[in-house]
Amino acid sequence: MLIRPKKGILDPQGQAVERALPALGFDGVANVHVGRLIELDVEDPSQVPQMCERLLANPLIEDYEVVEVTAA
């Protein structure tokens, strides 16, 4: 699950990173946002959106995206 701060909500962590990059000589960087990555193994992937809604993300302030990777 990729969990991101919702658009339009102040993201001071992203702003701090955005200010730090040019200081190291990396120019042309914009729209930096810092979120979370949660990895898990699950037998029934259809449960994952409910997991996000109820615990893993707070839908008031965060968007989530589920990326499914099937075991090789």
Cα separation, 10 vs 14, whole angstroms:
9
Report the residue from 48, 52, 56, 64 that binds other proteins according to the rule CB under 8 A: 56
Helices (H) and strands (E) in the chain, counts: 2, 3
Segment contacting other proteins (CB under 8 A): 20-28, 43-51, 56-64? 56-64
Cα separation, 32 vs 15, whole angstroms:
7
The DSSP bridge partners found for residue 4 are 63
Residues that contact other proteins, how many (by CB under 8 A): 10
Task: Assess 16 for contact with other proteins (CB under 8 A).
Answer: yes
Which residues bind to other proteins, rule: CB under 8 A? 9-10, 12-13, 16, 55-56, 58, 60-61
